[in-house]
């Protein structure tokens, strides 16, 4: 523990040890009166001088009611009553608790900074044939930087030379490496594993992905949840209330006793009032609640889930409805050839004809055919290309006439074709005027989409909804495959906002609706939902701005993980609130009745704080689903 402490914490630890040793030594010296007072003032001032100074400054600045004031009054009062050992012990245990809390907060901050260890220290620029290290802030847009194996990519850009394997675990929470080559976009924060890369920067360092992510995590504490705001207000009213309560406890019972002709017992009632003050210190609540949220946000960051503030974590924990965009969220958003049907020719041959005929087109369908062919395309083999808008392409490939298109093209050419009952885009193929079958192209579902929906239902989600601009036939098949309960198809972007508004009006006020989109064209809906989750949105400015939570890869399982993290964090927050307030109320009653002494008071303050802080740090650790 000591090796991880900062200088300030080490000084406090030395003071604690010195005060403990001197207090124990003086406890065995048989002295009384002024000499005993002088001896015990030595450990008291060693351990408590900074608390007394802070209390004095608080009074001077008219900010009286804080924990320093409570501790100063309680311990000075105990010493004034002749309870020297208890006065020193209260201050000593309070400082032990404060040291523990400071260490715990520092440790959780360190863990988060280690988990988010993506800030690059430098960028390499080639000058006169030599690599020169410069501050990433000094690199302008369009500059060429060199990233060597083992180094972090410092700024977003495009690879212009080299190929490599990238480790994205610090960003996505996943350890699966990603292949990258010339022409690929690359985002800052990844670690270059193998080859030397030359990257042309597309953003300044301040606007790059790594800076935006770090900024989000560092500023997340500014957006406080209702629980945190409640605790802040509670402490503001609670501290003065207990101070006045303690004053009343010290004065009223003796005055009433004197009035009724009984012994006033001033010392007894002042001691009870001082015990009441020590018990009432709200440290456990004031420290552990923000720490719970801070740890929850850190744990989420480690799992590849960026949460912009504890208020969003709180809302996410109440989610009962999850609305999905389809393309790019539940499906891969990349069209692929999934089959060749009714073809008398070999599958490879029909794909070759289709890819060559479509080789002059930049349409996504054409691109998917070229990818499925998988070989270098020699366009010199293709002549007489005619693209018929909305129908397809005719061309001559190796001297053979080829037609690739939809049913309209086949009807235009007078070629009989076979219907396809599968869901997807159909490319009918004719070679030399004879029908040769059709190619089925579809947007594949993501491998984890089905499991993600099942996980959400297991976690108590009431309804999952899918919104898409696709046809009803495609949408219904995807929704059926994945187990989604409600689907709305053939929607324009504006219709999606209207549907979310409609769903919001139906839900209970204490329930939350989350919208999950790919973050580029879903910004209006992300903003309108109770909680907007942008998926796979690294590098997308629209997503980072509009969403409340950003998933750092495109795995749908992360949605269930994010909700699980939020629920665990809120459970810890409420455990700490109920535990701290419950123990304090019991001990305050016992203190007022004279049953609890200063030692019980120390447990009620320091002990509860230590337990609450240990509990809060659990939010940092996230189990795998």
pLDDT tens digit string along 319-378? 999 999 887 788 876 778 888 887 777 888 899 999 999 888 777 778 889 888 888 888
Q: What are the tokens at 489?
A: 């198809």
Q: What is the mean pLDDT of residues 415-420?
A: 84
Residues 418 and 416: their CA atoms lie apart, in Å, by 7
CB 379 within 8 A of CB 390: no
Alpha carbons within 13 angstroms on the beta-carbon side of residue 290 total: 16
Q: Quick: pLDDT tens for 576-625.
A: 888 888 888 888 888 778 787 777 777 777 778 788 888 888 887 776 65
pLDDT at 493: 66
CATH topology of domain 308-332+446-564: Rossmann fold (3.40.50)
User: Taking the CA atoms of the chain, what radius of gyration do you get in angstroms?
Assistant: 34
pLDDT at 395: 94
Q: Is the pLDDT of residue 114 over 70?
A: no
pLDDT at 14: 93
pLDDT at 63: 74
pLDDT band at 1 (very low <50, low <70, confident <90, very high): low
pLDDT band at 276 (very low <50, low <70, confident <90, very high): confident
Query: What are the DSSP calls for 409-447, one per residue?
Result: HHHHHT-------SSSEEEEEEETTEEEEEEEEEEEEPT
Q: What is the mean pLDDT of residues 560-566?
A: 91
> Among residues of the chain, what percentage have pLDDT more than 90?
20
| More confident of the two residues 430 and 90 | 430
Angle, CA 119 vertex, CA 118 and CA 122 arms, to 5°: 125
Q: What is the mean pLDDT of residues 421-427?
A: 76
Q: What is the mean pLDDT of residues 207-214?
A: 72
Nearest to 514 by CA among 503, 451, 296, 572: 503
Full-model pTM: 0.68
Nearest to 102 by CA among 600, 569, 619, 609: 609
pLDDT at 224: 57
Strand partners, 306: 550
Domain residues of the chain, as ranges? Answer: 140-203, 308-332+446-564, 333-444
| More confident of the two residues 128 and 372 | 372
pLDDT at 235: 64
Q: Is the pLDDT of residue 3 over 60?
A: no
The mean of the pLDDT values for the chain is: 82
| More confident of the two residues 72 and 383 | 383
Q: What is the mean pLDDT of residues 18-33?
A: 88
Q: Quick: pLDDT tens for 495-544.
A: 888 898 899 988 888 899 999 987 556 777 888 889 989 886 555 666 66
| More confident of the two residues 218 and 163 | 163
Give how far Cα 124 sits from Cα of 182, 434, 560, Å.
18, 59, 40
Specify the CATH superfamily of domain 333-444. Calcium-transporting ATPase, cytoplasmic domain N (3.40.1110.10)
Q: Quick: pLDDT tens for 296-312.
A: 888 888 788 888 888 88
User: What count of residues does the chain have?
Assistant: 625
Q: What are the tokens at 496?
A: 């999606």
Q: What is the mean pLDDT of residues 264-284?
A: 78
Which letter does DSSP use for residue 61 in this model?
T
pLDDT at 221: 54
Q: Is the pLDDT of residue 74 over 80?
A: no
pLDDT at 355: 93
pLDDT at 621: 78
Q: Quick: pLDDT tens for 432-450.
A: 999 998 998 877 788 889 9
Nearest to 124 by CA among 114, 134, 138, 115: 134
pLDDT at 306: 83
pLDDT at 247: 86
Q: Is the pLDDT of residue 22 over 70?
A: yes
| More confident of the two residues 513 and 86 | 513
> Among residues of the chain, what percentage have pLDDT more than 70?
86
Q: Quick: pLDDT tens for 213-235.
A: 666 665 655 555 666 666 666 66
Q: Is the pLDDT of residue 167 over 90?
A: no
Residues 468 and 583: their CA atoms lie apart, in Å, by 52
Q: Is the pLDDT of residue 470 over 90?
A: no
pLDDT at 352: 92
Q: Is the pLDDT of residue 402 over 90?
A: yes
pLDDT band at 246 (very low <50, low <70, confident <90, very high): confident
Catalytic amino acids? 325
Classify domain 140-203 by CATH architecture: Distorted Sandwich (2.70)
| Dihedral angle sign, alpha carbons of residues 309, 311, 316, 321 | negative
Residues 244 and 257: their CA atoms lie apart, in Å, by 20
Q: Is the pLDDT of residue 194 over 90?
A: no
Is residue 196 helix, strand or coil? Answer: coil
Q: Within a 10 A sphere around the Cβ of 401, how many other Cβ atoms?
A: 15
Q: What is the mean pLDDT of residues 56-71?
A: 78
């Amino acid at each position: 523990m000591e090796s991880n402490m900062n200088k300030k914490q080490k000084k406090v630890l030395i003071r604690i040890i010195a005060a403990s040793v001197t207090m124990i030594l003086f406890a065995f010296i048989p002295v009384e009166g002024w000499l005993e007072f002088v001896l015990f003032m030595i450990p008291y001032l060693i351990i408590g001088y900074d608390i007394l100074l802070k209390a004095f400054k608080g009074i001077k600045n008219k900010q009286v009611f804080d924990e320093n004031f409570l501790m100063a009054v309680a311990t000075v009062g105990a010493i004034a009553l002749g309870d020297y050992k208890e006065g020193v012990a209260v201050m000593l245990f309070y400082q032990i608790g404060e040291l523990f809390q400071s260490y715990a907060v520092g440790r959780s901050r360190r863990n988060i900074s280690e988990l988010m260890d993506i800030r690059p220290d430098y960028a390499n620029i080639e000058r006169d044939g030599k690599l020169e290290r410069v501050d990433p802030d000094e690199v302008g847009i369009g500059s060429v930087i060199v990233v060597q194996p083992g180094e972090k990519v410092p700024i977003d850009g495009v690879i212009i030379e080299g190929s490599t394997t990238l480790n994205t675990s610090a960003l996505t929470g996943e350890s699966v490496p990603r292949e990258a080559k010339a022409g690929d976009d690359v985002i800052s924060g990844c670690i270059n594993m193998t080859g030397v890369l030359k990257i042309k920067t597309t953003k300044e360092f301040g606007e790059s992905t790594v800076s935006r992510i770090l900024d989000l995590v560092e500023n997340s504490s500014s957006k406080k949840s209702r629980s945190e705001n409640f605790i802040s207000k509670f402490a503001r009213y609670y501290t003065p209330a207990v101070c006045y309560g303690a004053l009343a406890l010290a004065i009223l019972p003796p005055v009433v006793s004197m009035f009724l002709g009984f012994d006033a017992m001033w010392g007894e009632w002042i001691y009870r009032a001082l015990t009441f003050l020590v018990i009432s210190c709200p440290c456990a609540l004031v420290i552990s609640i923000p720490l719970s949220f801070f740890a929850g946000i850190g744990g989420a960051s480690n799992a590849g889930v960026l949460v912009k503030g504890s208020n969003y974590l709180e809302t996410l924990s109440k989610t009962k409805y999850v609305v999905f965009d389809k393309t790019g969220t539940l499906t891969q958003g990349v069209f692929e050839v999934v089959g060749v049907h009714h073809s008398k020719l070999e599958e490879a041959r029909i794909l070759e004809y289709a890819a060559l005929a479509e080789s002059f087109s930049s349409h996504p369908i054409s691109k998917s055919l070229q990818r499925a062919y998988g070989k270098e395309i020699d366009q010199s083999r293709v002549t007489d290309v005619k693209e018929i808008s909305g129908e397809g392409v005719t061309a001559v490939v190796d001297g053979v006439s080829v037609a690739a298109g939809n049913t309209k093209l086949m009807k235009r050419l007078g070629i009989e074709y076979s219907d396809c009952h599968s869901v997807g885009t159909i490319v009918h193929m004719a070679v030399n005027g004879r029908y040769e079958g059709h190619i089925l192209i579809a947007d594949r579902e993501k491998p984890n989409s089905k499991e993600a929906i099942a996980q959400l239902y297991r976690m108590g989600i009431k309804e999952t909804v899918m919104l898409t601009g696709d046809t009803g036939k495609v949408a219904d098949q995807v929704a059926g495959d994945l187990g989604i309960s409600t689907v709305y198809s053939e929607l324009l972007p504006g219709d999606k906002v209207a549907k979310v508004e409609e769903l919001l009006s139906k839900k209970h006020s204490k329930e939350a609706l989350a919208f999950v989109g790919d973050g580029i064209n879903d910004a209006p809906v992300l903003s309108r939902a109770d909680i907007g989750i942008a998926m796979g949105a690294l590098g997308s400015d629209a997503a980072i701005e509009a969403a409340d939570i950003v998933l750092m890869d495109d795995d749908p399982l992360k949605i269930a993980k994010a909700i699980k993290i939020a629920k665990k964090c809120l459970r810890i927050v409420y455990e700490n609130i109920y535990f701290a307030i419950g123990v304090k109320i019991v001990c305050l009653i016992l203190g007022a009745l004279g049953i609890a002494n200063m030692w019980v008071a120390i447990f009620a303050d320091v002990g509860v704080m230590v337990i609450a802080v240990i509990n809060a740090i659990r939010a940092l650790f996230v189990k795998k689903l």
